[in-house]
Amino acid sequence: MNWIKSPCPVLDESFKQAAIERQGQLTKPPRALGELEDIAIRMAYIQQLHKPSADNPAIAVFAADHGVAEEGVSAFPQEVTVQMVMNFLQGGAAISVMANRLNAPLEIVDVGILTELPAHKGLVIQRAAAGTANSANEAAMTEEQLQLALKAGYDAVERVIDTGADIFIGGEMGIANTTAASALYSALLGITPDQATGAGTGLDDKGIQHKISIVKKILAKHEDCGNNALEWLRCAGGFEIVALTGAYIRAVQCRLPVLVDGFISSVAALCAVRIQPDVNEYLFFSHVSAEQGHRLVLETLGHKPLLDLGMRLGEGSGAVVAVSLLQSACALHTQMATFAEAAVATKKQ
């Protein structure tokens, strides 16, 4: 697991400065494109290019089951995980439809669903185990399983690096994973389970209160983890959350911008930043989830979401919706004419 602590690339500030200067020369009033200008400047800086691009997104959805599901913390039964994975592969899920519209490659990675699946186009089988243990009673995974799940994320990024991908999107699927995420948010942000826990897949008020009680039990069981993000991932996380964390770190090590999805993906991003603080520079947050607690991690990491549409599906769906904003920002930055090129008079002094 030595790779996880390998440093992120040092970015040349001159690319940021050149992008800022170009924005000031384009045929528009200053700041007329608002936050699209900021996106383009950040993309140019991260990619270290004068012509940044988000035209080739790569999407990997990590799927796994959670032992804590046996505590009744989800509105849906655990078999929905494998059923949704099949839906992804057959093209019927939201992420499948939107990836197809983008003509973006979509890979589904089985990191540890309970039911072993046969080989299928678009499916990568890289299992740490058949689901995690119940984190309310014991550590969710062993150290070896943690490393296997991190490596699944690493490998997913390695597979797309040579394909010309210019932005990475990670998605997830796993019944009860909002419980794991809520525990991680509580532990790493120092917030209460009440602040970090929401309805997930559609719990009523009674269900939410029960879920909060389970999150409290998880936190009490593993309080010795302290502020160690890797230990919290091992004790309270899920294989898909761990894989996302590994993928985000590897993407940044490869200077690949990351477009983060919602509640679950963001807790993986938080873990990645706690392990490697320089990761934060490379993150774009696609939207703010309707799931309680998501705004708090965005505020903590100092990011503003690109969209606020009340989404809470996961899968990477919100990130795929937001890709067009990055594409538009980059296209405007690279293709608009400057005042000099268009022979347009600049603002009066």
> Which H helix or E strand runs over 107?
strand 106-112
Position 1 confidence tier, pLDDT thresholds 50, 70, 90: low
The tens digit of pLDDT for each residue in 208-254 reads 899 999 999 999 999 999 999 999 999 999 999 999 999 999 999 99
- Spell out the residues 6+ positions from residue 185 whose beta carbon is closer than 8 angstroms to its own: 191, 196, 267, 270, 293, 296, 297
Classified as helix, coil or strand, 17 is helix
Confidence category of residue 112, pLDDT binned at 50, 70, 90 = very high
pTM for the whole structure: 0.96
Residue 185 has pLDDT above 80, yes or no: yes
Which residue reads 């602040």 in tokens?
195
* CA–CA separation, 231 and 312 (whole Å): 27
Active site annotation includes 299: no
Q: What integer is the mean pLDDT of 112-116?
A: 96
Mean pLDDT of 46-71: 98
Report pLDDT for 207: 82
For residues 11-38, give the mean pLDDT.
98
Residue with structure tokens 């705004």?
A: 295
What percentage of the chain reaches a pLDDT higher than 70?
99
- Rounded mean pLDDT, 308-331: 96
Give the span between the Cα atoms of 258 and 124, in whole angstroms: 21
Question: Residue 11 carries which DSSP code?
Answer: P
**SS3 label, residue 203:** coil
**Average pLDDT value for residue range 271-276:** 98
Q: How many CA atoms lie within 13 A of 193 on its CB side?
A: 17
Please check the confidence at residue 193 and state whether its pLDDT lies above 70: yes
The three-state secondary structure class of 170 is: strand
pLDDT for the residue 349 = 66
Mean pLDDT value across residues 23-45: 98
Other beta carbons less than 10 A from residue 89's beta carbon: 17
> Which segment of 12-21, 45-54, 292-301 scores lowest on mean pLDDT?
292-301
* pLDDT at residue number 119: 95
Please check the confidence at residue 334 and state whether its pLDDT lies above 70.
Answer: yes
pLDDT at 205: 86
- 309 with 333: CB under 8 angstroms? no
Tens of pLDDT, residues 248-267: 999 999 999 999 999 999 99
Mean pLDDT of 284-298: 91
Q: What pLDDT sits at residue 162?
A: 85
Structure-token match 């990351």, residue found: 258
Q: pLDDT (tens digit, 9 = 90+) per residue, 152-183?
A: 999 999 999 989 999 999 999 999 999 999 99
Say how far residue 250 (Cα) sits from the centre of its chain: 13
> Annotated catalytic residue: which of 71, 281, 315, 341?
315
Q: What average pLDDT does this structure show over 179-203?
A: 91
As a whole number, mean pLDDT of residues 267-283 equals 98
Rounded average pLDDT over 303-309: 96
- Please provide the CATH number assigned to the domain covering 57-324: 3.40.50.10210
- Look at residue 18 in the predicted model and tell me its pLDDT: 99
- Cβ-proximal residues to 167 (8 Å cutoff; 6+ apart), any chain: 54, 56, 57, 58, 256, 257, 258, 259, 323, 326
